[in-house]
A and B are shown apart, each in its own frame.
Chain A
Amino acid sequence: MPPRVDPGLCNGCGICVELCSEDVFFGTPGFGKIHTEKAVVSHPEVCWHCNWCVEKCPTAAIRLVIPLSMHIPYKDAPG
C-alpha cells in the first residue's frame, strides 16, 4: 500500500512527515521536531494518493504503490 520509502535513498529530511495532512508518516523518529531519521509509513490506510510526498521528496526516495484493489480495468482497442 502507498507510499513506499526506499531507506537507501531517504536522507531523513522530514519533508514528507511535515507535509502529509493525513499523517501517514505518524510516529517517524524525531516526529514533529528536527528530522534526522528515515521516514516510516505507519498509517498507509489513510493515504488518498495526493502524491505530494512523492513530488516533494528531494532524493526521489518515495513512490506510491497502488493497491491491487485500485487497479483500473481497461481493454485494448487497436485502431
Chain B
Amino acid sequence: MRTQIVDSDVLVGGGGIAGLMAAIRACEMGARVVIAEKGHTLTSGAGSAGNDHFLCYIPEAHGDDLDAYLRELREGKGGGIANLVGATHAKVWLEKSFDIVKLWDEWGIPMRAEGDWTFAGHAFPGKLRARLKYWGKNQKSVLTKAARKRGARIFNRVMICELLGDGRAVSGAVGVHTREDRLLVFRAKAVFVATGEIRRLYPGITPAMMANDTLPITLTGDGRAMVFRAGAELANMEMIYRHVGLRNFARQGQGSWIGVYRDPFDKPLGPYVTRPDRWHGDKTPEVDKELFARIFESARGPVYMDCRGISDEDLEFLLHSLSNEGNQAVVDFMAQEGIDLKRHRLEFMTYSMIAVGGIFRDERAATNVSGLYSAGDEWGNGISAASVFGWIGGENAALHAQRAPAASRGGEQATVDAVRRRVSSFTRTDGGTVYDWKDATYALHQTMRDYAGVVRSGPMLEAGLAHLARLKAKVHEGLRGANRFELTRCLETVNLYDMGEILVRSALDRLESRELHRRADYPITDPLRNGKAHTVRRQGEAVVFDWAPLEKKAPAARKERHAPAR
C-alpha cells in the first residue's frame, strides 16, 4: 500500500458544514489548510442535500434582549445545542449567527428567502420566530468553492482513522483512501474534527434497508471514535433523540411542512394551529417527538399531516422548502404518485433512536487535548451551530498552529503501522471465519435495540455490554471487505462498535432517567445532574466518567456588581 505524506498547519477531518467553515476561516488566518473528506465535499454530511432553516438572532428582528431569545428557544424545545451546552456557550453562538448568515448571503447562498430576512416555521403562534428561512440547496457547492478559493486543499475520498500525537497534543491523523490502495499521513499542528454524527448504531424504520434514514448511513461517528481513542472527552453519549417525519420515507424537514397534524377523526393533535400557517408551521411534534409513536402504538392513529386549505402561493413555498431541505426525491415521488397536498393527507411518524452525544468542547471549539478542535454534529445539532463553531474552531486552530512548535513525530510510526495492520486484516484472503460489514452492522443494531433501547436497566445493559464485547472481538478478527468500498464500511464498523460500547457504558453510569434515557431501575430525573454534561474519556485501558458543569463561574468582579446591597 502506497503511503502519501501531507503537511499542513491545520488538518480538517470531515468536509461538511462545520469542516468547510473551519477551513475557510483557518485559511483567512493565514494557515495552510488540508481537508480530508470520506465522500465528496459537494455532497457529504448532514447539510449535503440542503437546508431551509437557520437559527439566527438578529437584534433588529428579535429585539436587543438575547436572553429573551434564548429563553424562547428553550421553551420551544428547539434549542438543540442551547439545551445541551448551557447559556454561556449558546450566547457565543447566537451572537455570531447573524455575521455568518451575512457571509453566506454574500458568498451566494440565498439567505433572504423573500428578498429580506424572513423568519418562518418551527414557531408558536404569537411568539418569537427564531429560525431564518433560507434556500440552502447550493450550500455545499458555495462553501466548497469558498474554501478552495482561499487555498484549502481538499482530499476527497479519504477517511481519517486515527489521530497522531504523543498523548498530550495532536500532530495530525492517518487516513485511508476509499477508492485507491493508498494510506495518507497528514502531519499538522492543529486538527479540527468534524465528521458528524452517528447513524447506523440503532436499526432504522426499515430494518432490511438500513439507508432508509434521515441522514446518510456513512455518518458513523468516525471523529468521535478516533478522538476518544486519543484521550479526548465525549459527553452525554447515552442520550437519545428521535426525529419526526413522513411515515416510511425517512427524511429531515419536519419544519418545512405547512399544515396541521391531525388524528383519524380530524382533531388537531396540538393546540397551536387549526389551518395551514406558513409563518409558524405546527410545533406539536417538536414539543414531544414521541407523541406520534405513542398514538400509533396505542392504535389511536394514524397521524396525518393535513395541508387542506393551503393557498397556491403557500403550497409553492412548501414544495420549494422541501426541495431546499434535501427532499426533492419526496417532491418527485409525490408527483409520480399523484399526491395532491390540497386533497391528500400524508401519514407522519416518530423515527428510530439516534445517539446525540458527542465530542466535548468549549465555546472556543477546543477539546481537552491540546491542538484538537471540533464542531458540527460532533456536539449538539443544527447547521447554525455547525457553521458558527466551525468558524470559531477554524480560527482557534489556526492561532494554535501559529503558536505551536514543530509537531512531534512521537508515536507516528506506531499509529501508521496500526492502521496498516487493520487494513491488511480486513482485506486478507487467507480463509478462516469471515463476516461482512452488513452482518456486523445488523448484529450491532439488534444488540443496541434490545439491550440499550427505549427502556433500559442495569442488568439489561450489563448483558448487552457482555454480548457486544464478544461481537466486537469477532468483528476485529473476522471482518472482511472484498474491495475498497467494503473496506471503508469495515473501518466504519470498528468505530460503530467502539461507540456502541461507550453508549452502553455511559447508560450504565447515568443512574437516573432523563428525556429519552429511561432507566427502569432509576426512574427519577436527578436534579443534582441538571446543568451538567456526563463526560467519558479513556485513561490507559480504563474508561473514566465525570460530570462537568455547563456554566462557568462568573468572574469575581461581575459577581460583586450583582451582589445585593446590604
Contact = CB atoms under 8 A, between A and B. Distances in A.
- A, B from the same assembly: yes
Interface of A: 1-2, 18-23, 26-27, 31-32, 42-43, 45-52, 54-55, 64, 66-67, 69-79
A77 B328 contact: no
B206 A74 contact: no
Contact of A66 (B218, B328, B329, B346): B329
A50 B49 contact: yes
B179 interface: yes
B344 A74 contact: yes
Nearest to B199: A48
B306 A31 contact: no
B194 to A, nearest CB: 15
Interface in B47-67: 48-49
**Considering the complex of A and B, which 10 residue pairs feature the smallest CB-CB distances, nearest first?**
A21-B39, A50-B49, A49-B329, A21-B44, A26-B485, A73-B347, A21-B43, A51-B328, A51-B329, A48-B216
Given A69-B212, A70-B212, A48 B40 contact: no
A64 B339 contact: no
Chain A interface mostly: loop
B430 to A, nearest CB: 24
B210 interface: yes
Contacts of A31: 179
Given A22-B218, A50-B326, A77-B345, A70 B209 contact: yes
6 contacts: A21-B38, A21-B45, A48-B213, A50-B43, A54-B329, A79-B308
A77 B344 contact: yes
A50 B343 CA distance: 27
B528 to A, nearest CB: 41
For A45, A70, A73, A79, which residue has the most chain B Cβ atoms within 10 angstroms? A70
B51 to A, nearest CB: 12
Contacts of A19: 40, 42-43
Interface stretch (B95-103, B242-250, B379-387, B553-561): B242-250
Contacts of B209: 1, 45, 67, 69-70
B440 to A, nearest CB: 15
Q: How large is the interface on B (under 10, 10 to 19, 20 to 34, 35 or more residues)?
A: 35 or more
Contact of A78 (B217, B333, B343): B343
Interface string B510-545: 000000000000000000000000000000000000
A79 B302 CA distance: 20
Interface string B283-305: 00000000000000000001010
Given A19-B40, A55-B328, A72 B345 contact: no
B399 interface: no
Given A48-B215, A74-B339, A69 B48 contact: no
Contacts of A77: 306, 308, 343-345
Interface string B72-97: 00000000000000000000000000
Candidate in B208, B249, B438 with the most chain A CB atoms within 10 angstroms: B249
Nearest to A55: B328
B206 to A, nearest CB: 5
B178 interface: yes
A61 B302 CA distance: 37
A18 B217 CA distance: 19
